Chains A and B, each alone.
Chain A
Amino acid sequence: DSGVTQTPKHLITATGQRVTLRCSPRSGDLSVYWYQQSLDQGLQFLIQYYNGEERAKGNILERFSAQQFPDLHSELNLSSLELGDSALYFCASSVAGQAADGYTFGSGTRLTVV
């Protein structure tokens, strides 16, 4: 157990639907990152939050949004889902989000859009 908790582990939903993925960072970590892993795109950075504030944005679609709450857990919202959104979504956390920090990854949420 890495200390980063992601729920649910698996999610199957239909095109056009909306889902919410949840992440609880490791105790003491203030920064949360979301990544999408697909076979053709590899690991793609989506977004970073630090202590409730957005700090960096990657290739995140407008249909996707995220937030980090006062208790530091984070949610990634995916809407108007398309078949191509099927992927593994990882959350990672780090102490402060500074350059020398490594990440601790959760075990991921496997999203299947049918």
Chain B
Amino acid sequence: AQSVAQPEDQVNVAEGNPLTVKCTYSVSGNPYLFWYVQYPNRGLQFLLKYITGDNLVKGSYGFEAEFNKSQTSFHLKKPSALVSDSALYFCAVRDMADSWGKLQFGAGTQVVVTP
């Protein structure tokens, strides 16, 4: 079984400050990891994914995430947050060995960036 934990329901950050959204995962085998963002009344939009290779993954809108196998974490980061980054962020995992496995999503973290 696979699972994802996003320990923070909400993250508050001032514009211009670094933003971190935490994610830990559990899978039987090796993971494929994803971050998605959801703006109000919109569907989820893909930000970035880790499949293999470099542990630091760069994605859309200046976001990046670091895969840490020993800590089973995949935290999302942005060096300087914008007010427009305020949204709901979802981490998701798939087991690499499970060809038809679904993406398991975390509960989501609401990010609020204040001017």
Q: Which residues of A contact B (CB under 8 A)?
A: 2, 4, 33, 35, 42-43, 45, 48, 50, 55-56, 58, 90, 92, 97-100, 102-108
Contacts and interface: CB of A to CB of B under 8 A. Distances in A.
Interface range on chain B (Cβ under 8 Å from partner): 20 to 34
B98 A90 contact: no
A56 B98 CA distance: 11
A46 B91 CA distance: 18
Given A43-B90, A99-B32, A99-B96, A56 B101 contact: yes
A45 B104 contact: yes
Contacts of A55: 100
Contact of B100 (A35, A43, A48, A106): A48
B45 to A, nearest CB: 7
B96 A43 contact: no
Nearest to B98: A99
Given A42-B107, A43-B108, A102-B34, A33 B102 contact: yes
A105 B104 CA distance: 14
